[in-house]
Amino acid sequence: MSNETNRRDFLGYTFAAVAAVGGAASLVGMKQVWDPLPSVLASGFTNVELNGLKAGEPITVMWRGKPIFVLKKTADMEKSDRDLIIGEDRYTVAIGLCTHLGCIPAWKKTQWKCACHGGEFDASGKQTFGPPPRPLDLPPFAVQGSQLVLGEEGPEYKKIAAAMATA
């Protein structure tokens, strides 16, 4: 075999190796481009297990960067058209941002109180005092068994949203 042939083979192998490394690097680059951003991943669905919630003690979960209040109502809390009813239990599901200027109200025994300007919301999320112009907003959700799926518009959500729109 001549030196010329060996040299050609060597160049061919070198080219193939460089092309393979380049191809692998572009695949890594493409994967980074195609992968959803963390913000997009966070904007999906959030499941909330309702079993085990204690009546009268709301929890706060984060969904799409917003606090969501989920309260299992006690028997003596006033019933509302916006109650999510599952079996014997009634729940309030609300976006935990004050409808005045967006502060996060805190739960105080039987109601949410907003420290910013004194707004108050009852256990159903309805504004009862101060400057908030409307009840706490309703996040889209669906019910799957004992779970709340935030981010999906299920029939229960649509029913409550319709009731709130006519209230």
Sites of contact with ligand FES (CB under 6 A): 98, 100-101, 103, 114, 116-119, 130-132
CA distances (Å), origin 9, targets 14, 19, 21, 51, 123: 8, 15, 18, 69, 79
Q: How far is the CB of 51 from ligand FES (least distance, A)?
A: 32
Q: How far is the CB of 132 from ligand FES (least distance, A)?
A: 6
Running DSSP on this structure, what letter comes out for residue 31? Answer: H
Q: How far is the CB of 131 from ligand FES (least distance, A)?
A: 5
Q: In 3-state terms, what secondary structure has residue 19?
A: helix
Q: Which two tokens stand for residue 77?
A: 């809390």
Asked if residue 64 lies in contact with residue 43, where contact means CB atoms within 8 angstroms, the answer is yes
Strand order in the sheet with 141-144: 46-49, 147-150, 141-144
Q: How far is the CB of 116 from ligand FES (least distance, A)?
A: 4
Give the nearer residue to ligand FES in terms of CB position, either 72 or 100. Answer: 100
Give the nearer residue to ligand FES in terms of CB position, either 131 or 154. Answer: 131
Give the nearer residue to ligand FES in terms of CB position, either 120 or 156. Answer: 120
Find, among 5, 91, 95, 97, the residue nearest to 52 by Cα: 91
Q: How far is the CB of 77 from ligand FES (least distance, A)?
A: 22
